[in-house]
Amino acid sequence: MQRRTFLQGLAAATALGSLPLGVANALSPMASVSVESLPKLEGDLTLYLGRGEGGLYENVLQAIEKRNPKLNLKIRRGGSAALANTIVAEKKAGVKRADLFWAVDTGSIGMVTDAGAAKPLPTDLTTQLKEGFQYPSWSPVTGRVRTLPYNTQRVSPEQIPDSVMALADSDLKLGWAPAYSSFQSFVTAMRLLEGEKATRAWLKGVNRNAKKYAGELGVVMGVERGEVDVGFANHYYTLRLKSGKPDANVALAYTKNDAGCLVNASGIVALSDGDLPVNFIRYLLTHEVQSYLAREAYEIPLVQDVAQPEGLESLSTLTPPAMDLRNLADLRPTLNLMRDVGVL
């Protein structure tokens, strides 16, 4: 979907614009909601935006503004963790400058909800989301799953263990990006699921046979070039590479029931009471926005009946660990552990 087409499609107003949201849900209770069914947004709204996704999130915001000319949207941009710290500090000081916080990772969301800054969301909003992604005080927007991209010329799927812990003792040449935030969230999940001792041993084992990259796109490109056999990366880096190079020598493998197949999410929090922040969140969960991010960013749509990116195993067949994603906010012990082991 081209940027202009998306902007025009989301911004276009029709007679359905006044249809109450409750009526739309009643007509199709399991269907995703169309932007046409949402109320207009009017008034002042300040959003702390903790990611950009190559400008795609900016495209979404521009489309929402164009459709809602009476919305005065102010945006503060920065790293998710830094903005979360700012929100927590503002709350402690009795100052509220943001109405919404849209974050790249659930760890930052956890910092804000743990501080008591998040406002509860209505049930009719949270029940639009797929099972396992329904939270009372924040809304996931799109998902990403941890994967094992592997070089199809160097290894076969049968050579890749379905336990991420087993990779520390394998003979496979591995690629990783320890300084990357998503990798650190993955290690946090491992630490919470397996314990610090096992995670320390895993980090040491992998470090003996791993090539380090600056980011996870670099990991996937290194896998495709044959520099390593298998890497650790979010799913969309492989899908984006293959979209531009369909014959690339890389495919995805998945582990089972462990941190290696963790499904993380971007998310948004309402920091102010009232309908305006909540209705803004509704726009991010519409069929149009979810489809756009699935097609252009290769992220996983988390509302009902929106097609996921091609080339990714269905969420229904993946076996991610059961975890409250907000617990990934417990990052400091992970960083201390990684530094102590010598991978940072």
* Extents of the domains making up the chain: 3-143+265-301, 144-262+319-341
CATH, domain 3-143+265-301, list 3.40.190.10, 3.90.1580.10, 1.20.1370.20, 1.10.3720.10 = 3.40.190.10
The reply to whether 135 sits in an annotated binding site is no
Per-residue pLDDT reduced to its tens digit, 213-260: 999 999 999 999 999 999 999 999 999 999 999 999 999 999 999 999
What are the distances in angstroms from CA 147 to CA 53, 66, 166, 239? Answer: 19, 37, 15, 11
Residues 6 or more apart whose Cβ sits within 8 Å of residue 146: 182, 186, 232, 233, 234, 235, 255, 259, 260, 261, 262, 263, 264
On whether the CB atoms of residues 180 and 253 are closer than 8 A, the answer is no
Q: How many CA atoms lie within 13 A of 325 on its CB side?
A: 26
Task: Calculate ∠ Cα 322-326-327, nearest 5°.
Answer: 70
Q: At what angle do helices 106-114 and 181-194 cross, to 10 degrees?
A: 70
Q: What is the CATH number of domain 144-262+319-341?
A: 3.40.190.10
CB neighbours of residue 106 within 10 Å = 25
Per-residue pLDDT reduced to its tens digit, 173-191: 999 999 988 899 999 999 9
Q: What is the largest CA-CA distance in the chain?
A: 63
CA-to-CA distance for 91 and 78, rounded, in angstroms?
Answer: 18
At 107 the three-state DSSP class reads helix
Cα 327 to the center of its chain, rounded Å: 15
Residues 6 or more apart whose Cβ sits within 8 Å of residue 259: 146, 164, 186, 187, 189, 190, 193, 194, 321
Q: Given this chain, do its domains 3-143+265-301 and 144-262+319-341 carry the same CATH topology?
A: yes
The reply to whether 48 sits in an annotated binding site is no
pLDDT in tens, the chain (344 residues): 455 555 555 655 333 233 233 333 333 445 789 999 999 999 999 999 986 555 788 999 999 999 999 999 999 999 888 899 999 999 999 998 999 999 988 888 999 999 999 999 999 999 999 988 999 999 999 999 999 999 999 999 999 999 999 999 999 999 999 998 889 999 999 999 999 999 999 999 999 989 999 999 999 999 999 999 999 999 999 999 999 999 999 999 999 999 999 999 999 999 999 999 999 999 999 999 999 999 999 999 999 889 999 899 988 899 999 888 889 988 899 999 999 999 99
On whether the CB atoms of residues 334 and 202 are closer than 8 A, the answer is no
